[in-house]
Amino acid sequence: DTGVSQDPRHKITKRGQNVTFRCDPISEHNRLYWYRQTLGQGPEFLTYFQNEAQLEKSRLLSDRFSAERPKGSFSTLEIQRTEQGDSAMYLCASSPRKTGAYEQYFGPGTRLTVT
Amino acid sequence: AQSVTQLGSHVSVSEGALVLLRCNYSSSVPPYLFWYVQYPNQGLQLLLKYTTGATLVKGINGFEAEFKKSETSFHLTKPSAHMSDAAEYFCAVLGNAGNMLTFGGGTRLMVKP
């Protein structure tokens, strides 16, 4: 396994612009998660996919946020009309399909700075 | 709903000393518990997990944790700190539906030479 990868690693954008992040999970992991981590805090759950189905969304995921996993492989997270409060590290994680395997494997994250 | 409390946002130990990072959880169902470590500007790496069975679990890098149901705790320990252990540590509990993780606020471990 090559691990979870995320692109880009860093993104600086101006307020009001749209941004899109990509996550490639560990191959054959059918579950994919997005979390947001602000400075000095633990990660907070945003959303979760099982294969291509988005099964849960946090209240943190406002209307400006949308996530997709079109073929059950990679996922994208888009933020429209970015605000300074969106500045954070966005973490992606995946977990395998095996029964009883509950651990999540995290990628390196995308650090977003909104100026 | 689950919640996790990590007592002590910063812990400082000397190299070679015992490391003890505290985690208490709240869960309405038998908890699945995890410890992750995060180095600067990196993602989270799984240290160890408790799901069922033995309450003392061993992880990577010499860390271990003990699940104590009566105390709703899952404290992380390491007998002898190494400089490379300096990082942020997060305790987490798995949600009822077996999907989302709820994390504590983290504890920054500093190791003095």
Residues B34-67 have pLDDT tens digits of: 999 999 888 899 999 999 889 999 999 999 999 9
Check if A33 contacts B (Cβ < 8 Å): yes
Confidence of residue A80 (pLDDT cuts 50, 70, 90): very high
Tokens describing residue B34: 């995890």
List b or e across A77-88, with b for residues whose CB sees 16 or more CB atoms inside 10 angstroms: bebeebeeebbb
Burial-class residue B40 by CB neighbours within 10 Å (0-12, 13-18, 19+).
exposed
Distances (CA, A) of B36 to A103, A104, B88: 10, 10, 8
Q: Between B97 and B50, whose confidence is greater?
A: B50
Q: What's the rounded Cα separation, in Å, for the pair A25 and A22?
A: 10
Residue A59 has a pLDDT of 87
Which helix (H) or strand (E) segment is A112 a member of?
Answer: strand A110-114
So what's the pLDDT on residue A99?
65
The Cα B27–Cα A83 span in angstroms is 34
Looking at the complex, report in whole angstroms how far the Cα of residue B56 sits from the nearest Cα belonging to chain A. Answer: 17
Q: Does A42 touch chain B (CB under 8 A)?
A: yes
Mutate to test the interface with A, among B21, B99, B102, B103 (most CBs of A within 10 A): B99
Position with higher pLDDT, A100 vs B45: B45
Distance from first CA to last CA of chain B, Å, rounded?
41
